[in-house]
Amino acid sequence: MFNEINPQEAYGLIKRHKNDPDFLIVDVRTPQEFKEGRIAGALNLDVQSDNFESEIGKFDKNKRYIVYCRGGNRSQIAAQMMSDAGFENVSNLTGGIVFWEENGLPIEK
């Protein structure tokens, strides 16, 4: 099971866990979308790529993850896949990076 998290909650978690190796932000958009702007510190792993499941299989299931995409749909799919694979602490960023930016939160390019 995964949970939904709004941009303000996500930003607070990211700030609190800035140097925590057990906390990861995963951008599940395409590499091109990722290049156009992302949340600082995010890893890019395209949920629509053929190797998404094998790549998440390399991640530690005990770490904490925030996943996001452009609007929240692809990241819901990714969060569900991760949850189904046994990940215990996955949060989906509601509204994706669009809602993140609409809330005035920073992105890096």
Integer Cα distance of 103 and 9 in angstroms? 11
Integer Cα distance of 91 and 79 in angstroms? 7
Integer Cα distance of 19 and 67 in angstroms? 18
Hey, which residues are catalytic here?
A: 69
Q: What is the CA radius of gyration of the chain?
A: 12
Range list of β-strands (E), the chain = 3-5, 23-27, 43-44, 64-68, 89-93
